Each structure stands twice: as C-alpha cells, then as structure tokens.
Amino acid sequence: MHIAMIGAGYVGLVSATCFADFGHDVVCIDKDPDRLNALRQGKIPIFEPGLEDLAKSNAEAGRLRFGDDVGKAARGADIVFLAVGTPSRHGDGYADLTFVYEAARDIAPHLAGFTVVVTKSTVPVGTGDEVERIIRDANPAAEFTVVSNPEFLREGSAIEDFKRPDRIIVGTDDTRAQAIMEDVYRPLGANNTPVLFVDRRTAELTKYASNAFLAMKITFINEMADLCERVGADVLGVARGMGMDARIGNRFLDAGPGYGGSCFPKDSTALTNMAQDSDSPLRLVETTVAINDQRRRAMARKVIRACGGRVRGRRIGILGLTFKPGTDDMREAPSIPIIRTLLDAGAVIRAYDPAANAAAHHTLREIEICDDPYDVAQDAIGLAVITEWEEFKSLDLERLGRQMDPMSNVLVDLRNMFDPAEVSKAGLTYEAVGRGNLNRASEAIKFAAE
C-alpha cells in the first residue's frame, strides 16, 4: 500500500513510521526545511521513546521517506493521511483548521485514480464534509472519498498504542474505502484489534468524546482527593476501590495537579464550543474545564501553605516540568501555572526535568533550570514534585534533606509518588494530595503527646 502522510509532527511521524513498519510504502511530507533536513539525517525532532530507532530502520529499508513534494506524494498514493496540527484558535478556543484545509487544497489537484483521503488530525464534527467540498471544488474530476480515522496516541507510549490499540475507528460509508482501510490496518489482525466502522461524523465526535470523558475522570478523582483531605480519607484507597469495579476501571484515577498536554485541554474546550454552537451544551465538560483551570493555582497555594504560608524571597525547588513523564512536551503543563503562581507570591524557583530542560529555558525564563535534581534542593524550603518521572523514585531522600534549608524541608508530592514513612525517615516533612488519613494520623500523634 502506498501512503502519503501530510505532516511530520507528532501524529504524522508516529503514524508514518508505524505504517512503514507494517510493510507499507510511506512518504511523510512537511514544509519545514529544518525539520525535513533533520529527519533525513535520522534525527527525530520530538521526544518519543523508541521512535528514532524505528524510523531509522524503516528509512534504511526504503519503506519510509521524507519530502516536501505534496504533488508527487499525492499522485502516487492509495491513501493520503492529513496529520497536520489543529491548535486552539487564539481568542475563542475553537479548533484552528487552517492547516487541515490548506493540506486539502494542496493535494486536490494531484489526486490520480481512486484515493482515500483520511483526516488523522483531531477535527470538529463536519470537518470531513468541508475537506470533501474543498477537494471537489478544486478538482471536480477526482475520484476520492474522505474518511475520518482519529488517533488515540499517548505521548510516551505512542508506538505501543499504535501497534496494540484498544480499537481502530474508521468513519466512512464507502465500501471501497472500507476495504482499503482494512488492508492498511491488516497487520493488527494478529492482535485481534477491533476495527469499528461508523459514519464520518460519528468518528469525528468519538475522538472528542473519548478525550473529554478521560479529562472528566481525572477531574473527578482530583475533587475526591480534596474531599479526602477534609474528611480524613485516603484517595489512593478510594481510587483503588473504584478501579476494581470493571465498569469504572483503574486508569486515569491518579489524583494530582490536573490534566495538561496537547490534547485534553484543547479538545475539551473545542468540544464545549462545538456543543454550544449546536444548542446542546455539555455542562459536565464545561465544568471539567473550569475546575482543571482552577486546580493548578490551588496546587500552588497548597505548596505555599506547606512551606509555612510565606515564600517571598525564599527558594522552592520543582521536580518535573512536562505535563506527563516520557515526553518533553510542556504544552498546557500544570507546572507552568503552578510556577507562575509561586513567582507571583515572591518565591525563587529552581527546577529540573529529565527531558524538558531545553524547552523550559524558553517557556519559563524567570526560573533557574538545573541539570541535576539535587541542585534543585540546595537551600530550598520546599520541594514540589509535579511530574511523576520514574527516576524520581530512586532519589536519595536523605541527601535531598541535607541540601535543603534545615529550618524548613518540606516535600510536597503532587503525584503521590513516595512512601510517607520513607520520607519521614529521611527527615523530611511530607505533604501529599488527597491523603487526609496522613493528616489525621499526625493530629492523633500530636494529641497523644499533649
């Protein structure tokens, strides 16, 4: 199968590489000359475990190529995937479809023979209709159909998600397109991956609905964590008890500083706008967005309270800057508003992240970026863990404590990564999220001592 992937961003690169690894002939098109030059040299401009090696092996095998000739790629393709960005539009939060429509106009004059044009980008309901109209107006003789095939990739585990997905969603009523899409994904048959064929608009909405639901699930457990702190319960136990119910499941039930990244914030806002325009507002999703926006500043206030309520002129260390581990992506990362709130309160910030230090230099110029997590702790009155990088679990807590301010050495664990007993043993004061039972225990000890 000959595939043209328009867009060498995150989704485009992962999809093109994995399709090539399936044995398809893939050309990945991008207009950025610097990006293309790097890709041709075997350098992947994004942080995604395993992607560089997989891209290199498929490029060497001749199955994966990179270029900027849209016309040549479209003419020789059985399938053209549109995998360009759909960022939030400045000012109103709607999905900006400029790049999608531009890609449709670029390929339209060059389609030869029956071609399946697939929107891989996350797009509002009805976008496929407009893509079809654009191509039809530009090339009335073209024989094509437009299909929706949303992606469900998690940064940090995108290759695994692509090759072992929970499901493949294909939006089309065209039988020829269905047959071609089945051929494209046939290698997944060995994993018994279900392929769900629905109409195009249903497929477009399914992506938004999935992301919004997961965002609500995260927000729900975060609110439960707040309640746990008030009533003396432990959100870890609550989440475990909920997750054992097969109807609920245990994923996305980790309390923390709120969701971020390139998908959940953008897609939830775009969905609420779409729903309002359709006179069918989604109040649950609207509330989810509002609560998540507020949570970051609430977590910053939690850090300030844990550090005695006054941080002006005092140093606070931050461990983890990306929105999740396994990526260098800082888009909508909770760390940004948390740090900015701490700066507003007068704190002096030092931070470390295993993958995003370079990005942080541009995003958070007011803070000092360290190359070592122990440097972050030097003379700090408190440390805040914002991203649950695996390497943080092996930190020498006693060493951290020795480097912190001896009068105030608080570890604020916004991801509930650490064992409270181990933290206390190292001489640190521990503050977690939603673990009100720890507060009750400390109160009981204090009462007994009195």
pLDDT of residue 438: 81
pLDDT of residue 85: 93
Give yes or no for residue 446 having a pLDDT over 90: no
pLDDT of residue 439: 60
Strands 348-352 and 368-369: parallel
Summarised one tens digit per residue, pLDDT across range 295-344 is 999 999 999 999 999 999 999 999 999 999 999 999 999 999 999 999 99
Residue 324 in domain: yes
- Mean of all residue pLDDT scores within the chain: 94
Give yes or no for residue 444 having a pLDDT over 80: no
Domain holding 194: CATH number? 3.40.50.720
Residue 397 in domain: yes
CA 7 to chain centre: 18
Identity of residue 128: G
Give the closest residue to 252 by CA, choosing from 216, 228, 226: 216
Summarised one tens digit per residue, pLDDT across range 388-435 is 999 999 999 999 999 999 888 999 999 999 999 999 999 999 999 999
- Both tokens assigned to 207: 């992506």
Last residue of a domain, one of 161, 176, 198: 198
Q: Output the pTM of the full model.
A: 0.92
Residue 245 in domain: no
Residue 205 in domain: no
Q: How far is it, in rounded angstroms, from Cα 58 to Cα 26? A: 10
Tell me what percent of the residues of the chain surpass a pLDDT of 90: 92
Is 228 labeled as catalytic in the residue annotation?
no
Summarised one tens digit per residue, pLDDT across range 45-72 is 888 999 999 999 999 999 999 999 999 9
Last residue of a domain, one of 166, 198, 230: 198
| Least confident range of 89-93, 153-157, 181-185 | 89-93
Residue 302 in domain: yes
Instruction: Tell me which of 18, 28, 228, 263 is the catalytic residue.
Output: 263
Identity of residue 141: A
183 and 298 share a domain? Answer: no
318 and 184 share a domain? Answer: no
| Contact residues for 325 (Cβ-Cβ < 8 A; gap 6+) | 156, 387, 388, 389, 390
Q: How confident is the model at residue 191 (pLDDT cuts 50, 70, 90)?
A: confident
Summarised one tens digit per residue, pLDDT across range 230-276 is 999 999 999 999 999 999 999 999 999 999 998 999 999 999 999 99
189 and 310 share a domain? Answer: no
Residue 255 in domain: no
Summarised one tens digit per residue, pLDDT across range 197-240 is 999 999 999 999 999 999 999 999 999 999 999 999 999 999 99
Q: How many domains does the chain have?
A: 2
Summarised one tens digit per residue, pLDDT across range 99-129 is 999 999 999 999 999 999 999 999 999 999 9
Q: What is the mean pLDDT of residues 157-185?
A: 97
182 and 302 share a domain? Answer: no
Range of the domain at 381: 291-449
Candidate ranges 75-79, 187-191, 359-363; pick with highest mean pLDDT: 75-79
Last residue of a domain, one of 179, 198, 217: 198
| Contact residues for 355 (Cβ-Cβ < 8 A; gap 6+) | 47, 322, 327, 328
Q: What is the mean pLDDT of residues 352-363?
A: 89
Q: How confident is the model at residue 358 (pLDDT cuts 50, 70, 90)?
A: confident
Give yes or no for residue 32 having a pLDDT over 70: yes
Q: How confident is the model at residue 440 (pLDDT cuts 50, 70, 90)?
A: low
436 and 309 share a domain? Answer: yes
Residue 218 in domain: no
307 and 162 share a domain? Answer: no
Give the closest residue to 416 by CA, choosing from 222, 259, 219, 227: 222
